[in-house]
């Protein structure tokens, strides 16, 4: 019983790693090539290859060492490359572009002045 629970947990972890890699691959593919250069990151093709290999390893090669290496590459993409691409492309949090914290849905809030 303990072994089947451990197997279920490992299957869940490997599935989560695969889903993260696929999401990162799609996001890397949707970003513009010039945004990678403007953010001083590796090229778009580099990240597509790295994340594509990660997806292939997660699907086809059950070697934990390679899967962990792919997970590290996926995490680097999410915490370093993607925020830099969003900053260069003008995408901010919440969908606002260049607004301040006092902006409302119809423009800046001036406090009734």
pLDDT (tens digit, 9 = 90+) per residue, 47-80? Answer: 999 999 999 999 998 788 999 999 999 999 999 9
Residue 95 has pLDDT above 50, yes or no: no
Does this model's pTM top 0.85? My answer is no
Q: Is 8 part of any domain?
A: no
Q: Is 110 part of any domain?
A: no
Domain boundaries, position 35 = 14-88
Structural domain total, the chain: 1
Q: Is 94 part of any domain?
A: no
Pairwise CA distance, residues 31 & 85, whole Å: 7
Contacts of 55 (CB under 8 A, 6+ apart): 18, 21, 22, 25, 70
Element (H, E) at 34: helix 33-38
Task: Read off the pLDDT of residues 20-41 as tens digits, 9 standing for 90 and up.
Answer: 999 999 999 999 999 999 998 9
pLDDT of residue 63: 85
Contacts of 53 (CB under 8 A, 6+ apart): 70
Q: For all residues of the chain together, what is the average pLDDT?
A: 85
Q: Is 104 part of any domain?
A: no
């Amino acid at each position: 019983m303990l072994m089947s629970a451990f197997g279920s947990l490992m299957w869940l972890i490997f599935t989560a790693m695969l889903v993260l890699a696929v999401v990162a691959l799609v996001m890397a593919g949707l970003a513009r090539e010039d945004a990678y250069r403007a953010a001083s990151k590796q090229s778009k093709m580099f990240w597509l290859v790295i994340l594509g290999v990660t997806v292939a390893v997660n699907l086809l090669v059950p070697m934990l060492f390679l899967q962990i290496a792919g997970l590290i590459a996926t995490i680097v993409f999410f915490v370093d490359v993607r925020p830099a691409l969003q900053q260069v492309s003008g995408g901010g949090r919440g969908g606002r572009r260049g607004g301040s914290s006092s902006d409302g849905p119809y423009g800046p809030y001036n406090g009734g002045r």
